[in-house]
Chains A and B, each alone.
Chain A
Amino acid sequence: MSEQKTIRLVVTRQDGPNENPYREEFVVPYRKNMNVISAFMEIQRNPVNAEGKKTTPINWESNCLEEVCGACSMIINGRPRQSCTALIDNLEQPIRIEPMNTFPVLRDLIIDRGRMFDALKKVKAWIPIDGSHDLGPGPRQSEEEQQWRYELSKCMTCGVCMEACPNVSGKSSFVGPFAVGQVALMNSHPTGSMRAQERMEALISDGGLQECGNSQNCVRACPKGIPLTKAIATMNRAATKHMFKKWLDF
């Protein structure tokens, strides 16, 4: 038998929010069907680095491991993505893994994506129903409308579009591509559209649509293939109409 096949990983680590990042290398035994997360799990069971020194297991966020929860975003070989779908067989080695540092890094690969959830509040990303009591069926919708809304509704707030966008950073207030997509989603619902103007106001305020530089990185990076640039274009047209109407009403 030849010697056992191994995987090499170089992980950018950080002990705390105000600590300096450093790189640590790991060598992990290869098995079939591994992804970046199962390599991390192997390190948990045997926390030793490539130099043979004892170390702490890597800290990272993950949950569903099938790309529907949005937790496990990180930069892998230079590309922001979900680590659950990062299959070892498809990655060039050594695999370089870094946190998505558009967001504050808390420890190792753990980041604080709180600003995304705040953005959802800011743009009022909900359908304003009268209450959860029994009021019968919702409005009828065509299959076409449903399919457009379903595409937008797959957004799992993973932050990959934020990392990829050149106009989102710790210094800018841009709500980010995903939030524009969520406004498009809510405004295209028959009930949601009744408050479309309110969401539009939020979307053209500070840190809104005008911050988009049209790099189109978001749509290429989105792991769910959400038509973000189409949503941005739709919202831009709606914003122009909104402004014009406001000007007429003035």
Chain B
Amino acid sequence: MNEKIIIVGGGLAGLAAAMKASETGARVQIFSIVPVKRSHSVCAQGGINGAVNTKGEGDSPWEHFDDSIYGGDFLANQPPVKAMCDAAPGIIYMMDRMGVPFNRTPEGLLDFRRFGGTKHHRTAFAGATTGQQLLYALDEQVRRYEAEGRVEKFEHWEFLSAIIDDEGVCRGITAQDLRTGEIQSFAADAVIMATGGPGIIFGKSTNSVINTGTAASALYQQGAYYANGEFIQVHPTAIPGDDKLRLMSESARGEGGRVWTYDKDGKPWYFLEEMYPAYGNLVPRDIATRAIFKVCVDDKLGVGGENVVFLDLSHKDPHELDVKLGGIIEIYEKFMGEDPRKVPMKIFPAVHYSMGGLWVDYNQMTNIPGLFAAGECEYQYHGANRLGANSLLSAIYGGLVTGPKALEYVRGLKKSSDDINSTVFEAAQKEQADKYDAMFKMNGTENPYQIHKELGEWMTDNVTVVRYNDKLQKTDEKIQELMARYQNLNMVDTLRNNNQAAPFTRQLWNMLELARVITLGALNRNESRGAHYKPEFPDRDDENFLKTTKAKWSPNGPVLEYEDVDTSLIKPRPRRYDVAKEGGGSK
């Protein structure tokens, strides 16, 4: 047993894959831009879903599955989503055994709270920093394996490309040590991408600054399909900031938080409760976001005439808030200087999550043999809109299944990466090193950070909550203009040691490529479904668009193909949240 697996990314998906692959006997190398313990998974707040059904509500994995498919507006292939929901209670128990300090009931059992798009208490949580706590537990398990010599970590290393042999099979990666600038190639029998989402393409979002989507974009440019790129989740409740938009978890509403503003007569208006009596403040994110957007932008009823509404917890018991929502209360206090236990928070929607990502099959493998993907960087589990607290689940579940699936693939291989001619690895390394060297010769007049700022503003203005075809078209033209200006960049830092500007410049190109995939995917999808909303095409159109978008790279921009969705388990039905959801399908 000498199978070698490379995992790129050390968030929940990457660490879960590393743990499983290592337990199954593989030699594992993890590559991560940051120490894995600082991965973006730490930012997840509210919790993780699993139908453990401890509240006597008759919840079940099937009900979780139906909520997820319905919440995703039927765009997800159903069998993998069902498998994830079936596995969810076991995953929560496993994380509990690893020592995650989940909140408890008086009887000492795991506590569960409500989240959007469901009527059940299904979300396990550790205060309001659940992602951080889950990540730390996996980090600890992987550190244990690292101490035993079963896992090797390359932290402060950036993935550059997959190494693909003459037969089109992935045989390793090239990566760069961000400390020294050195570029190397690494052989592997399988590579698992777990590199997270691309929120930074939108400039300011709830994402960490490392979430540029650069790795997924590099692979797209190497021939991997990128699926459903146009489905970008805009979270309804974030605090506007100068450097980022900080998330205020959906769990605030799960614990009784109410969204409101003043109506035309100056009276408090709980508009979500009025518009959606069945789910109230706990409608799914796309629905809540559009409502807040309409109230502020169309009706001009934002608080104080600005683009903000209230998220109000001030009627709740302050001690309970500390125990269940401490993390976000602290964030609001530190960044806004006000106490949400006493005054309502001011919030506005912000780009949050990509439902789309690298296309994978039911074994989590991309269209490039030997190259797998798990977590937010792939597209499989959330359809057109992700339900809150399903991302921590899909990240961990994706990692847990991908580790063993990758190993299974390796064990079926006729030749290992050791049998591949060394020239393949040398050529890949040289190609990347040459590209990097060329960047240091850029002596034009443009600044990469300025181009990124413009990209973010265009994407946020035109490719988020409300989308119009003429504006999408103009945005694509703008991205191409930015790509032209990219050629006239100036390398603002020419030292090789710990240079941050050069890697950012490389990532910027990848962001531009992926921005076109997102924009053109949206332009071509003439319907409204989940997070994708076009006033010119307000209805879901199953006949033409119950399909996965698959973007393939070409020198002239993305080429779009469409693939049927597997709806074999639950028949698509209209999605609405003003009335209670009907039961879905047979069990």
Decide if A117 is an interface residue (CB 8 Å cutoff): yes
A57 touches B493 (CB 8 A): yes
Q: Which B residues lie within 8 Å of A56 (CB)?
A: 492-495, 501
B104 touches A191 (CB 8 A): no
Decide if A35 is an interface residue (CB 8 Å cutoff): yes
B210 touches A132 (CB 8 A): no
The distance in angstroms between the C-alpha atoms of A120 and B144, with both chains bound, is 10
Q: Which B residues lie within 8 Å of A128 (CB)?
A: 144
Per-residue interface assignment for chain A, residues 37 to 77, with 1 indicating a CB less than 8 Å from any chain B CB and 0 otherwise: 11001001111000000001101011111111111000000
Q: Shortest distance in angstroms between A99's beta carbon and chain B's nearest beta carbon?
A: 12
Q: Which A residues lie within 8 Å of B331 (CB)?
A: 66-67
Q: Shortest distance in angstroms between B352's beta carbon and chain A's nearest beta carbon?
A: 13
Q: Shortest distance in angstroms between B454's beta carbon and chain A's nearest beta carbon?
A: 11
The distance in angstroms between the C-alpha atoms of A61 and B493, with both chains bound, is 16
Q: Shortest distance in angstroms between B582's beta carbon and chain A's nearest beta carbon?
A: 32
Decide if B168 is an interface residue (CB 8 Å cutoff): no
B42 touches A35 (CB 8 A): no
Decide if A20 is an interface residue (CB 8 Å cutoff): no
Per-residue interface assignment for chain A, residues 1 to 38, with 1 indicating a CB less than 8 Å from any chain B CB and 0 otherwise: 00000000000000111000000000000011111011
A45 touches B453 (CB 8 A): yes
Q: Shortest distance in angstroms between B238's beta carbon and chain A's nearest beta carbon?
A: 10
Decide if B143 is an interface residue (CB 8 Å cutoff): yes
Q: Which B residues lie within 8 Å of A132 (CB)?
A: 19-20, 23, 94, 141, 400
Interface of A is mostly: loop
Decide if A85 is an interface residue (CB 8 Å cutoff): yes
Q: Shortest distance in angstroms between B376's beta carbon and chain A's nearest beta carbon?
A: 15
Flag the segment in B112-120, B128-136, B218-226, B524-532 that touches A.
B128-136
Q: Which B residues lie within 8 Å of A220 (CB)?
A: none
Chain B, interface size category, equals: 35 or more
B104 touches A142 (CB 8 A): yes
Decide if B102 is an interface residue (CB 8 Å cutoff): yes
Q: Shortest distance in angstroms between A85's beta carbon and chain B's nearest beta carbon?
A: 5
B43 touches A66 (CB 8 A): yes
Decide if A137 is an interface residue (CB 8 Å cutoff): yes
Known: A33-B241, A85-B334, A186-B99. A63 touches B40 (CB 8 A): yes
A126 touches B96 (CB 8 A): no
The distance in angstroms between the C-alpha atoms of A15 and B493, with both chains bound, is 11
Known: A63-B40, A71-B34, A137-B93. A131 touches B242 (CB 8 A): no
Q: Which A residues lie within 8 Å of B101 (CB)?
A: 146, 149-150, 153
Decide if A121 is an interface residue (CB 8 Å cutoff): yes
A110 touches B447 (CB 8 A): no
Within 8 A of B (CB), among A147-177: 147, 149-150, 153-154, 156-157
Decide if A199 is an interface residue (CB 8 Å cutoff): no
Q: Which B residues lie within 8 Å of A143 (CB)?
A: 103-106, 108, 323
Cβ contact of A85, chosen from B93, B327, B335, B493, cutoff 8 A: B335
Query: Which of chain B's residues has its CB closest to A31's CB?
Result: B242
A71 touches B241 (CB 8 A): no
The distance in angstroms between the C-alpha atoms of A144 and B465, with both chains bound, is 43
Within 8 A of B (CB), among A107-121: 107-108, 110, 113, 117, 120-121
A192 touches B99 (CB 8 A): yes
A138 touches B96 (CB 8 A): yes
B497 touches A106 (CB 8 A): yes
Known: A120-B143, A128-B144, A134-B93. A65 touches B501 (CB 8 A): no
B132 touches A154 (CB 8 A): yes
Decide if B450 is an interface residue (CB 8 Å cutoff): yes
Cβ contact of A35, chosen from B40, B104, B242, B327, cutoff 8 A: B242
Per-residue interface assignment for chain B, residues 184 to 218, with 1 indicating a CB less than 8 Å from any chain A CB and 0 otherwise: 00000000000000000000000011100000000
A59-B500, A61-B34 given; 16 more Cβ-contact pairs under 8 Å: A41-B449, A57-B449, A57-B501, A59-B499, A64-B38, A65-B244, A69-B39, A106-B179, A121-B146, A128-B144, A129-B97, A132-B94, A136-B93, A146-B102, A146-B103, A149-B101
**A and B contact pairs by CB, cutoff 8 A, 8 listed:** A59-B498, A120-B143, A126-B143, A140-B107, A143-B106, A154-B129, A156-B132, A157-B37
4 closest Cβ pairs, A-B complex = A140-B108, A138-B96, A126-B140, A107-B498
